[in-house]
Every structure is written in C-alpha cells, then in structure tokens.
C-alpha cells in the first residue's frame, strides 16, 4: 500500500510558523479561491484543496495548532483527531460556511432567493442593409409566460385556496444545520416545498393548474440603433416571462442578422462602393453619380486622368456610429469611400477599333507620366 508523505501545514498555507489568526484566515481565503474544484481546472485541485482545508482546520484552532507544533500530524491523529473536510457543492457554500458569506462569490441564499426570475425570451430578426446602417423601429410579436388572468397569479381557484406553507411557516426559507471545521453551521435555503413563496396552493386554479402563469401573446416596439451589425444582440430588460413569487421578470433578447447589399461593403462605420468609369470618362473627366445608402445618388466630379483605384471620400454618408450623435443632435455617421474602376471594353466595333488604333499611334510617354510611383498609388488606394 502506498504511503502518503505528510506535508507541513504551514507550507501548505504559505504562512510563517508565527503567523497570527488573521494571516492564516487570509491565506486560506486566497488558497481556496485558487484551488477549489469549482474554480481550478488542475486535475489535482480537489486533493490539494482538501489538504489546505485540513491545514486550516488545525492552524485556526489554538489547541490543535499547539499539538501540531509539538508533535506534528501524527501527534494529532494519535490524539483522536480526524479531518472534518466536507466536499461543499460550490465555492460560495464554503465561504458562506467558514466566513459567514462575507466573501461569497455572488452567492444568494435564504430569503433573498425566494422569488424566481422569469424566463428569458430570444427572437431573431433580419434587417435590410439600410435599416442596419441608418436605424429603424420594428414591431415584434412573441409568446412569453404571463400572469394567469383567471387567478391573477395566485395559482388558486379561490382566495381560500392558498395557505401558509407549514414547512417554512411562511418565511419562504428553511435553515439547514451542517458540520464544518468550526462545528455546526446554520445555512438558509429557499423552502423546498413552497419554493420560497411562503404560501402553498391547496385548491389549484383550473386555468393554470396552480402555477399562477399562462402563455400570452405580446407585442413590443423595438428601436434598432443606427450602426448595428449582424450578430449583435439587443437586450430589453424585464420584457421576458414574469417572475415567480414576486421575482423579477426575464429579459427579451433580439438577435440581429443583416442582409447584404450588392452595392456596398461595410468597414466599421464606413461604407465602400465602386464607381465604374469608361476609358473616355477616366481620361477626359466626367460628372458621375454615386449610389448612397440613403437612396439619393450623389453627383461627383471625376477629374481628367483619373486612374484605376483612385479613392474618393464622401463625408458623412457612411453607417451610423452606434450610440453616436453629433453636437447638434443629428446622427453621427462614418464616410462613403468610393473606388474608381476603369472598365476596359471587351467587344469593339470596327470603327471603335480604328479610333483606338489611331489614338495608340499618337500616344506619347508624357501622356502617362506621373509624379508618384507604384507604391504611392497603392497608398492612395488604401488610405484617405
């Protein structure tokens, strides 16, 4: 049989041998946060946590600590000491038991947990590209748990059909006594019979069978903020199912998907589009129309000699900045980035071919001379 080597309790706790009770208590809190199986992913976390708890049990008790300092762990066991370690269900439980819940990790028990929170409802909607960019309002219909209209949520057929819970005496909570390293520990939990309500239904309502709830159709108007993107979620607090026993209502979550628009790409708060130009328009200059997500095209002046990939910026015609507004209260928007694409004709009539041949014969290097090199062109395509 394998013999386990004893480890010094002070080393396990990470404290000096002359540490006072306050230092030992702080050290145990720190170790418990680190090693408790509910928190740590280490495979030996439970075993290490058990040993640290045993060490704390001894070092926090003056008499047991004195015995340990003099005779070690073997001396404790020869005197009849046995570890009282219990496998608590969560780290909140162990802090509540050892330290009165003063540092529990968001633990809620006893009377505070009497009311049950209502169910959350999820709805998926699909927006057009324009709706997502500029914002809109949608009327949503859904089914959620509501209060029974027959019994007004009491769950009883008549007012006399509700009585005080005899398990908790109407308190909604019961006390549970357990053993810990400090001896007996009293903890409060929601009553298992009335689920924290303090009342039980003896004559159930025929409509809801005593639950006090029934499904109901709801309609809610949801403001979709400008600039929202596909995959984002809108939360409407308290618009989900009703809570039980006076508990808070659940939330309504709206999951957003956005249709694509073949005219635009989105880059953050900016929109990107392409302006197609003929060789003649690019060479001679032109007045062209650029589509906008607002619906009204914008005229732009294309300078003579415009090159493929030339970048133009139309300020304030991009997507709305989520939760952003200008100083005057108007919607703050990104920009519309326009890239020029010079189209090369594929199918030429004989007259067009002859015209281009004559033009080619007249071309000179100066027609294409530029001040900037190829990398300067790339920079213009990428940056404003």
* Six-digit token string for 298: 């914008």
Half-sphere exposure at residue 324, Cβ-oriented, CA atoms within 13 angstroms: 15
List the domain boundaries for the chain. Answer: 9-107, 121-258, 265-382
For β-strands 336-343 and 270-278, DSSP reports them as parallel
What's the topology of domain 121-258?
Chaperone, DNAj Protein; Chain A (2.10.230)
* Six-digit token string for 323: 């939760």
In CATH, the architecture of 265-382 is: Sandwich (2.60)
pLDDT in tens, the chain (384 residues): 333 446 788 888 889 988 888 888 888 877 877 776 555 667 777 778 888 888 888 888 888 888 888 878 877 777 667 766 544 444 544 555 454 443 333 333 333 344 578 889 999 999 999 999 999 999 999 999 999 999 988 888 988 888 888 888 888 788 776 655 555 566 677 777 777 778 888 899 999 888 888 999 999 999 999 999 999 999 999 999 988 767 788 999 999 999 999 999 999 999 999 999 999 999 999 999 999 999 999 999 999 999 999 999 999 999 999 866 666 667 889 999 999 999 999 889 999 999 989 988 888 777 777 666 556 656 655 654
Beta-carbon contacts of residue 99 (< 8 Å; ≥ 6 apart): 25, 29
Nearest alpha carbon to residue 52 among 89, 24, 80, 76: 24
Q: Which CATH class is domain 9-107?
A: mainly alpha
């Amino acid at each position: 049989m394998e013999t386990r080597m004893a480890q010094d309790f002070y080393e396990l706790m990470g404290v000096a041998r002359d540490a006072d009770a306050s230092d030992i208590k702080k050290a145990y809190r720190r170790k418990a946060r680190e090693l408790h199986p509910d928190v740590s992913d280490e495979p030996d976390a439970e075993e290490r946590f058990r040993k640290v708890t045993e060490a704390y049990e001894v070092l926090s008790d003056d008499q047991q600590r004195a015995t340990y300092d003099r005779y070690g762990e073997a001396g404790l066991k020869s005197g009849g000491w046995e570890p009282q370690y219990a496998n608590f269900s969560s780290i909140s439980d162990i802090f509540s038991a050892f330290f009165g819940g003063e540092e529990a990790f968001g633990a809620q028990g006893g009377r505070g947990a009497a009311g049950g929170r209502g169910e959350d409802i999820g709805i998926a909607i699909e927006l057009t590209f324009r709706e997502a960019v500029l914002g809109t309002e949608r009327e949503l219909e859904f089914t959620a748990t509501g209060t029974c209209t027959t019994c007004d949520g009491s769950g009883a057929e008549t007012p006399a059909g509700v009585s005080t819970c005899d398990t908790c005496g109407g308190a909604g909570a019961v006390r549970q006594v357990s053993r810990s390293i400090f001896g007996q520990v009293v903890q409060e939990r929601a009553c298992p019979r009335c689920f924290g309500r303090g009342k039980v239904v003896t004559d159930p309502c025929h409509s809801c069978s005593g639950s006090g709830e029934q499904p109901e159709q709801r309609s809610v108007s949801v403001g979709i903020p400008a600039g929202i993107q596909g995959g984002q979620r809108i939360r409407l607090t308290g618009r989900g199912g009703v809570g039980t026993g006076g508990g808070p209502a659940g939330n309504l979550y709206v999951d957003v998907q956005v249709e694509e628009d073949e005219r635009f790409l989105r880059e953050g708060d900016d929109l990107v589009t392409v302006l197609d130009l003929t060789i003649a328009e690019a060479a001679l200059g032109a007045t062209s129309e650029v589509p906008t997500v607002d619906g009204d095209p914008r005229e732009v002046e294309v300078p003579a000699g415009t090159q493929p990939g030339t970048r133009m910026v139309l300020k304030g015609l991009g997507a709305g900045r989520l939760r952003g507004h200008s100083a005057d209260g108007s919607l703050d928007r990104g920009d519309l980035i326009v890239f020029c694409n010079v189209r090369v004709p594929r199918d030429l009539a004989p007259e067009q071919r002859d015209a281009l041949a004559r033009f080619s014969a007249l071309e000179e290097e100066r027609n294409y001379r530029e001040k900037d090199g190829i990398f300067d062109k790339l920079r213009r395509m990428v940056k404003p």
